Amino acid sequence: MKKISKIAIILILACIAMPCSIHAQESMKNEFNPITTGVTSLGIAPDARGASMGDLGAATDPDANSQYWNPSKYAFAYSKAGVSISYTPWLRKLVNDIYLANLAGYWKLGSEDNQAISASLRYFSLGEVSMTDDAGNGINSINPFEMAVDLGYSRKLSDSFSMGVALRYIYSDLAFDETMATDDVKGASAFAADISGYYTTYPMVGRNECQWSLGFNISNIGSKVSYSGGNEPAFLPANLKLGTMFMFPLADYHTLALALDVNKLLVPVKPRLTDYEDQIAYEDALQDWKDMSPISGIFKSFNDAPGGFKEELREITYSIGAEYSYNQQFFLRGGYYHESAYKGNRQYFGLGAGFALNVVRLDAAYMIATAQSSPLDQTLRFSLTFDMDGLRDLFGRR
């Protein structure tokens, strides 16, 4: 009988969601309680610009990849249209065939340029996974993957504020085809939506005009996902992102932007046996968790941590970053991402650079994990962005 090497898949997905958890100290075991979700690849930053600033983008200047960070920013985009292609080799310290590919773009509508439609397609390949028979002999291999496609709309509600929505279809396939799928490993679909807002203003500081922006994005509000016919449902990684950015000129053609994002997963904590006095109480709590609707889970996520308010604070991650720009043609970026050691222990620095020439911009990012044993260390990202409005003008002039 054919079967999938589930251990390989579980290890890969665990590294995506909480790559440093296996290195938690012995004294932390009782308090170590990361939040578990389905389709964890939805939480991977797709583009080099946001990744190089410590995985942030809720309030940074709009670009073609705003669909992931904050779709409402598109209404304030400087160009009429843009498209970006991004590629991320993932977990290269463990394997060499896992990657994330992302395509995103937008188009502003009407002559007033106060609204935009946007879309993105992300494809996360888990590489090649071996299949074995009951004796453990390798007989075949499969290529599991996760993907998401979404469509968004954003509109200015005033000269300084916009809002946006995005609808998303998600598919996670952990089997090569239906004949190879087992009862435990099947493809699953889900639907989700994002709600976002963006505010930007230009205050005067001394004699210099600066830019201050605020943004929020409530993402992946949607149905549950399951790989076993509904017996083991998992919440999507619904997330609340809040961010701010302040940009100021250093000199002629030189600007510096400082940004901060905070995130909280809007997912209820899965019950643990150690938190209950007996098996029956635990099983009742686990069944309640399985039966909980996604909307109820969002509200429950703010006050359900076994450790009380202290543990709720541990669920908040933050990113700080900076971007230096010379004449909007050359960029240097850096940032830091922090997650509590009790909730996954993802902590890393991001570095990156970008170069824009006419209508094309190339960005690259490099991740440096603070934990030497982290499989996320030395992760690279690349993004290539095209200003479609500029391309049209360029070819029009010819």
CA distance linking residue 327 with residue 322, whole number of Å: 16
Backbone angles phi, psi at 49, to 5 degrees: -65, -55
Whole-number pLDDT of residue 1: 39
CA distance linking residue 142 with residue 95, whole number of Å: 15
Whole-number pLDDT of residue 175: 56
Given a cut of 90, whether residue 361 has pLDDT beyond it is yes
H helices present in the chain, as ranges: 6-17, 48-52, 66-69, 279-291, 294-300, 309-314, 388-397
Q: Nearest to residue 265, comparing CAs of 289, 240, 290, 230?
A: 240
Q: Nearest to residue 61, comparing CAs of 208, 228, 256, 194?
A: 256
Q: For residue range 64-101, what is the model confidence (pLDDT) as tens digits?
A: 999 999 999 999 999 999 999 999 998 887 778 899 99
Whole-number pLDDT of residue 382: 97
Q: For residue range 30-74, what is the model confidence (pLDDT) as tens digits?
A: 778 889 898 999 999 999 999 999 999 999 999 999 999 999 999
The per-residue pLDDT of the chain, averaged, comes to 86
Instruction: Express as a percent the part of the chain with pLDDT over 70.
Output: 83
The tokens for 84 are 């970006």
Q: What is the DSSP letter of 275?
A: G
DSSP string computed for 11-52: HHHHHHH-TTGGG--GGGTTT--PPP-S-GGGGS--SHHHHH
Taking phi first (over 0 means left), then psi (-120 to 50 degrees means alpha), and beta for anything else, what does residue 315 get?
Answer: alpha
- Cβ-based neighbours of 169, under 8 Å, separated by 6 or more: 148, 149, 150, 189, 190, 191
- Cβ-based neighbours of 286, under 8 Å, separated by 6 or more: 270, 271
Q: Exposure of 92 by Cβ count < 10 A (0-12 exposed, 13-18 middle, 19+ buried)?
A: middle
DSSP string computed for 98-160: -EEEEEEEEEEESSS--EEEEEEEEEEE---EEEE-TT--EEEEE--EEEEEEEEEEEESSSS
Whole-number pLDDT of residue 21: 43
Q: How far is CA 164 from the centre of its chain?
A: 17
Q: Are 154 and 73 in contact (CB under 8 A)?
A: yes
Q: For residue range 335-353, what is the model confidence (pLDDT) as tens digits?
A: 999 999 999 889 999 999 9
Question: pLDDT confidence of 3, banded at 50, 70, 90?
Answer: very low
The ranges assigned to domains in the chain are 3-397
Task: State pTM to two decimals.
Answer: 0.88
Residue type at 150 in one-letter notation:
D
- For domain 3-397, the CATH class is mainly beta
Whole-number pLDDT of residue 29: 64
